[in-house]
Amino acid sequence: MWNLDVFYNTFISSFKKRLNNFDGMRKLINAHWIASATLMVVLPFLIKSCKPTGTAYDKFVYEKSIEVLFEEESENLIAKAKADLSELEDANLMGAYQGSLESIDQHPTPEWYKDAKLCIFYDWGPYSIAGYGQKGGSRARYPDWYLNHMYHEHAEHHKEVWGEDFQRDDFIPLFNAENFNADEIVEMVRMSGAKYLVPFSKHHDGFCLWDSKYTMRDAVDMNPHRDLTAELVEVCKREGIYHGFYFSVEEYEYPLISESDSLVIRYWSDNMAPDNSGIAQQSGEIHGPFISERDNRKLSGKIPVRNFIDELIVPQAKDYIDKYDPDILWFDGEWQRPAEYYRTPDIVAYFYNRAEGRKEVVANDRLGMGTREHYGDFYTSETDEVVAKMDYPWEENRSMSESYGYNHTDSLENYLSADELIQMLVRIVAKGGNLNLMVNPDGTGKVPQMQLDLLKELGQWLEINGEAIYGTRPYEVLCDNTQLGQPVWYTMSKDSTYGYAIVFDWPKSETFICKGTNLIWESEVTMLGYDKALKWIDVGRDKWGMSANIPVEMLGNPDARPGKYAWVLKFEYDKNNEYGR
């Protein structure tokens, strides 16, 4: 079997060595991306040879069936949930925040979050083994939904690749996490310049990456038999990286105990249920019959409860918060039902109250149907980057490719270049947002080399230009163009002392012309990464603004520039308009 990363690295290294022999070409062309483009011609054939088409696997049978868990575990679990729920409600009753949208909306967004600007969103779970997703109604691909889509839109693909009888839980024995290394992950976060990390602790299939006392469908009771979250949190705390709790408030299916004490299956929505399930609407939920042969191969380790929210979702979230003390609470899967149904305000209030006076924490806006961009410490956008400046903190969730989760069909065509990635970060920050940048490890926990290369380039750019990103706020002008049409975006220090003009394209002339620079006369203008002041003149504030001379040594010499992408001019901001605008 091919090792794609070894092949990729050998190919890139060899190609760069050959290209470096042509000095003029080397200065004009990014060798890495040429090599990647060439590799993508042959990569589909390599991928095809790596996939286990038609391979037979042993059925995964967990040591305790759902029926046995019902008989042996449900009563105890429901009692634990009742105690945890009571503890949560008592804490909220005594705390500064109560379990309502109005109460939690009084919570201030911490300065550290507003200053951080960049997060790594670590999208990884058993679904990463399959590593497949195609576009549906969205511009993005969602391989992290594969464990549902394998029964619906990807059913034919699944049968062809994995076999007729390969069920959802047959992926669990393959989830060995052999390349998951907490130290390496946090080092990757540091390399990228990110200040916080949010791993996918529990996605919609219900598999938990921590030792959850509310399920046996987790990484300790099942493969890889490690508390992956504990490993990661320990390193984050040691290295000073804020860490988050991504938690889906929904699951595709869950076994419930009916009023007649028989098992039924609760479905997230009717379009996720099998066509022959005989679904019925019961108290706002979709229920269907429990079928042992089917459900024990899809829902292994899930302990039946009577109330999905009070006996699973709320106490499970509390359990995580108590054990791992996260800095960020990142809900998902909330769009089907209101926040009052999911009791997310109760969870958030407990999260706030537990941290009160001890540390500053932050929670997102995905609390229930209709809450996005209305409640929470920050608003969330997904793929559709906000087009205008926002006064409220917000976060763009975006992959380096089109995929949310590992996708073995990704290619250079749907990846951002380093230049595009940096420009996206600048645009988001200029509009008052943070970039929640998705990293998609494969099923073993290995991050694809293309993603590591992009993160390294991003981090190197931030080493030079981070002053224009971290701790900044939106400037009076969002963006404009130079006299010759090069895009310029602006940020400002949060004390309003300095402005930053971020020029995306190197000028074709001998000057930087930035119309939006409202600066103090006779003050210094500098270029980040260059240790001398630039000569500049005012060329008419209402027309072309400031014109700063490019240092002579950089004219016609790209190697003398401070970096390869997006150059930053720093100026003293005339915040009181003393010199006219």
Q: Mean of the pLDDT values across residues 165-183?
A: 98
Which neighbouring-strand residues pair with 118? 435
- Sequence-distant (6+) residues with CB within 8 A of 178 are 224, 444, 445
pLDDT digits (tens, 9 = 90+) for 394-452: 999 999 999 999 999 998 888 999 999 999 999 999 999 999 999 999 999 999 999 99
pLDDT digits (tens, 9 = 90+) for 340-368: 999 999 999 999 999 999 999 999 999 99
3 state DSSP class of 174: helix
pTM: 0.91
Mean pLDDT of the chain: 89
Nearest to 415 by CA among 399, 431, 433: 399
CATH level 3 topology of 472-572: Immunoglobulin-like (2.60.40)
Listed in order, the ranges of the chain carrying CATH 3.20.20.80 are: 66-415
Listed in order, the ranges of the chain carrying CATH 2.60.40.1180 are: 472-572
Tokens of 149: 């889509």
Cα-Cα end-to-end distance for the chain: 65
DSSP state of 542: I
Share of the chain above pLDDT 90, in %: 79
Class of domain 66-415 (CATH, top level): alpha beta
- Sequence-distant (6+) residues with CB within 8 A of 284 are 337, 341
User: Does residue 551 have a cis bond before it (omega within 30 degrees)?
Assistant: no
Q: Measure Cα distances from 84 to 144, 240, 379 in Å.
A: 30, 30, 29
